[in-house]
Amino acid sequence: MGRNGSGVARDFTDLHSVRHHLISAERKTIDYLLICTKSTQAVTAFTAIQSRLNPQSVVVCLFNGLGAQQQIREHAICPVYFATTTEGVSKIAQHHYAYKGAGETYIDALITQEFTQDKLPLLFKPVDNIDERLMDKLVINSLINPLTVLFDCKNGELLSNPKAMVSMHALAGEIALWLSTYVRSVSADAVLNMAVVVAQKTANNTSSMRQDIQQKKMSEIDFINGYWLSNNPGKLILPENARVVADVKRIEAGGV
Ligand code: KPL
């Protein structure tokens, strides 16, 4: 689905460098809708296509960040399931994307109310704790993505940059405080470790946020670090998150 809900032809190059031409079928009613836009565009894309859903349709939200999933669920007339993925794609030209590496894709196990496990696409691994996994992904994206923009580097390069690591430690401390206050007790070291492991595994990746900035697109910063700031009823002090949000927005607006 295009960002405005339109059907757009796209090219896709797989891991074996084979190029596929994909054309979306224009049918009136949508049975299964997979939303994998940017989180900044998910609600707009859903709203544009919503009239083609019926109560028997099934929607799956598959994008980074947190916040937009809940808004879509509140507006939908059909079941909405949450999923998260570490599959990687990169845009290599207008309407041409390349698969950059296999990751894991988890989906709320409640999806098995709609499909028996053998009918579920193999890509999806049903899990009982999707909310926790979405939160873990948010933690990882909060510690890696904005810093790759601010230090203009690949994921792995953060680990050898002392200034980036000072910031990553500070973000880990604030996010551990947020999680321990609102969800479950967790140490700053445990939070930091989650991001370090992923930065090592994806060392050669350009994070999705850095790609957005390089392509002069709006970043997902409000749905990533911004999430901790806007879901903070106890008014915890989170200055490093506030700083990276402001700095990424300044760069996004064309500043340095
Ligand atoms: O999800 C990612 C992203 O770039 O959005 C990570 C895990 C950081 C990999 O690049």
Residues in the chain: 256
How much distance in Å is there from the Cα of 55 to the middle of ligand 1?
A: 34
Instruction: Indicate which residue's Cα is closest to atom 6 of ligand 1.
Output: 207
Question: What pLDDT shows up at residue 15?
Answer: 65
Name the strand (E) or helix (H) holding 61. Answer: strand 58-61
Locus of tokens 């207008």: 94
| Ligand 1 cavity residues, CB under 6 Å | 64, 86, 140-141, 144-145, 155, 198, 202, 205, 207-208
Q: 199 CA to middle of ligand 1, Å?
A: 8
Burial of 32 (0-12, 13-18, 19+ CB in 10 A): exposed
For atom 10 of ligand 1, the residue with the nearest CA is: 207
Question: 41 by DSSP, 3-state: which?
Answer: helix
Question: Could you give the domains of the chain?
Answer: 8-128 (3.40.50.720), 131-252 (1.10.1040.10)
Q: What is the pLDDT along the chain (256 residues), one digit of tens a residue?
A: 444 445 556 777 776 777 877 666 666 889 999 999 999 999 999 999 999 999 999 999 999 889 999 999 999 999 999 999 887 777 788 878 887 666 789 999 999 888 877 888 888 899 999 999 999 999 999 999 999 999 999 999 999 999 999 999 999 999 999 999 999 999 999 999 999 999 998 899 899 999 999 999 999 999 999 999 999 999 999 999 999 999 999 999 997 6
The residue whose CB lies within 8 Å of the most ligand 1 atoms, and thus the one to mutate among 208, 213, 219, 221, is 208
Torsion (CA) 169, 171, 174, 177 in degrees, nearest 10:
-70
Q: Which amino acid is at 207?
A: S
The alpha carbon of 144 and the centre of ligand 1 are apart by a number of angstroms equal to: 7
Nearest protein CA to atom 9 of ligand 1, as residue: 207
The pTM of the full predicted model, rounded to 2 decimals, is 0.86
